[in-house]
Homo-oligomer: A and B are copies of this chain.
Amino acid sequence: MQDDAQLDAIFSALAHPTRRDILARLAKGPATVNELAAPYDISLPAISKHVRVLQNAGFIAKGRNAQFRPCTLDASAIARVADWTAAYSHIWDARFDAMDHVLKNLKGDPE
């Protein structure tokens, strides 16, 4: 997927409270689609679609265990969001410069 198109998918996926909620749930550990659906008043197919959207955006990896589909959080898509914000960090937070400096050192890339 192209960079722009993937950011479209990523941000669209995050633009729904239920989907952000599902990510928060998965941050605590894997869950099946039914488990993910449990807290909500909406139908299972609706949740199934939300999961699909998150999967297409790269937030979720879906496994197979018998008739279950255990979902796990794939952190890389979230990291891409963080990367996107980093391009603006110099504007919103002067501390970023210090952070950036520290990160370079942690990476073994001292200036």
Contact = CB atoms under 8 A, between A and B. Distances in A.
Interface of A: 4, 7-8, 11-12, 14-17, 20, 23-24, 27, 73, 75-76, 78-79, 81-82, 84-89, 91-93, 95, 98-99, 102-103, 106-107
Nearest to A73: B91
Contacts of A107: 95
Number of copies: 2
Q: Is the interface of A mostly helix, strand, loop or mixed?
A: helix
Q: Top 4 nearest A-B pairs by Cβ distance? A: A75-B92, A11-B15, A11-B14, A12-B15
Given A20-B7, A99-B99, A88 B78 contact: yes
Contacts of A75: 88, 91-93
